[in-house]
Amino acid sequence: STVKAAMERLCNYIPEKLQEHNSLCFHTISFSIDKEMNADVVCHSLKLCKQDPGQPLCHLYPPPKVSWFSTFFQSHRLCKVFYSGTEQGYHWRGRDCNDKNTTVYPGRRPDNWDVKSDSNCNGIWVSADSQGVVLLGDSAGAHFHIPPEWMTVTQMSAKSFANLPMAFTDELDWPQFSEITGFLNSTIGGWTDSLYLRLRRRNRCNHRDLQNISQNGILARNQLLDNPAIVVYATIGNDVCNGNRDTLAHMTTPKEMLSNVVQALRYLDSHLPNGSHVILTGLVDGRFLWDNLHDRYHPLGQLNRDVTYSQLYSFLDCLQVSPCSGWLTPNETLRNLTSERALQLSNVLKEIARSEKFTNFDVFYMDFPLRQTAEEWRKMGGEPWQLIEPVDGFHPSQIAAALGTSITWQKALREWPQVLGKENPFNDQIEAIFKDQGGH
């Protein structure tokens, strides 16, 4: 079809909900694109992409045979505006059931055993011992995901863009399906399993007591009034991942790691109710990414078989926006050095869990369960690349998150059952009386 028709079609896929703040602009181009005009050429011709003086010319697709700027483009902007939703916040923690009363919120120790009302929003009157789940993490913990069907030409449709406004509202994170705090059935492939759902199944009084504080949230826990919590301190990759040219020099050193983590734990010790637990999870060995993806096609390159992950990684690196220059690189020595540092930092965490003591919680360490996850998935007939987010080629996928939960849970059940609390013998009765406990 013509470019104009194609753009109109794409625009019609974008949902119609309006608001001032968010907008998405397209440049419509008034001539037809031939095969030589890949997205790099179009982008540079429209001057949306530019080459800074002294910097290399960055491109995703193979360089065109025609000159980069030989073609004259005419364009005009076409904007769509979105609403930013009223649900912001809801996917990140359990819902407050009473906005008018500030002493009522999830995680609170029940007021007089909840004989008069549900003072902690767990959907139950009359309560038992319970605890919450808190995740301290990064974009992987928040479950960053860009739907591949937005970028795979053959899958684009109004249906595949229906989730766009909500996805923007949550900054492309999907904590509601995540490994630690997920509570809704996944709509992005795989399935949902989470520490929160398993704790809730074990003791229905844990209902709604979840907080995902990945990236920039604030821990909401009153040391005197609230129930204890299990805090998962998930380091995963950011301490060794950066997009700097000199990436090794910008990684966290073991000494900094020790001091930062101990400082964070002291903060938690002054904020968490007594009887809480902290689980430190180690850094991942990110060589898994290159090893399993580098020669596969990225969603943008599936139609014409012209963009591999290796090309994507080099493109992001060239633009200095790589999520991880140390692992997403053809340089095997550099990948090895990055993993070496990651292992050193995990060892720091292990040592902290072994030697440091805190007043209000005990500390445990576990390796990031990538190896077991891959093993489980293989047994289920899956391929390792399916454990990685297809669009960014970096974050763990929904499948990896759900499998990781069951591995973490089994380990805790075996080695630290006290962390999970007792099973509530009244679960069946609670379900019979309170049904879904008011939803999430």
Among 1, 67, 333, 355, binds ligand NAG (CB under 6 A): 333
Q: Which stretch binds ligand NAG (CB under 6 A): 11-19, 42-50, 331-339, 364-372?
A: 331-339
The C-alpha atoms of residue 175 and residue 141 are separated, in whole angstroms, by 8
Shorter beta-carbon distance to ligand NAG: residue 274 or 429: 274
To ligand NAG, the closest distance from the beta carbon of 101 in angstroms equals 4
| Region from 29-37, 305-313, 327-335, 345-353 binding ligand NAG, contact rule CB under 6 A | 327-335
- One of 45, 119, 139, 186 is an active-site residue; which one? 139
418 binding ligand NAG? (CB under 6 A): no
Q: Residue 390 CB: number of other CB atoms within 10 A?
A: 23
Tell me the window of 52-60, 160-168, 211-219, 260-268 that interacts with ligand NAG (CB under 6 A): 211-219
Gap between the Cα atoms of 343 and 335, Å rounded: 12
Of 137-196, binders to ligand NAG (CB under 6 A) are 142, 171, 173, 184-185
CB of 257 closer than 8 Å to CB of 348: yes
Among 49, 78, 162, 334, binds ligand NAG (CB under 6 A): 334
Distance separating alpha carbons of residues 120 and 94, to the nearest angstrom: 10
332 forms part of the interface with ligand NAG (CB under 6 A)? yes
Q: At what angle do helices 398-415 and 195-202 cross, to 10 degrees?
A: 50
Q: Quick one: tokens of 222?
A: 């009153």
**Residue 2 in the binding site for ligand NAG (CB under 6 A):** no
Selected binder of ligand NAG within 111, 129, 306, 356 (CB under 6 A): 111
Exposed, middle or buried by CB within 10 Å (0-12, 13-18, 19+), for 214?
buried
Give the nearest distance from C-beta 149 to ligand NAG in angstroms.
Answer: 21
Length of the chain in terms of residues written = 440
205: DSSP letter: G
Least CB distance to ligand NAG at residue 333 (A): 4
Of 212-231, binders to ligand NAG (CB under 6 A) are 212-218
Question: Cα separation of 235 and 241, whole Å?
Answer: 11
Distance CA 144, CA 141 (A): 8
Rounded alpha-carbon distances, angstroms, from residue 43 to 37, 58, 61: 10, 11, 12
Residue type, 93: R
| Catalytic annotation present for 139 | yes
Query: Which residues form the interface with ligand NAG (CB under 6 A)?
Result: 92-93, 101, 103-104, 111, 117, 119, 142, 171, 173, 184-185, 211-218, 248, 274-275, 331-334, 336-337
List the catalytic residues: 139
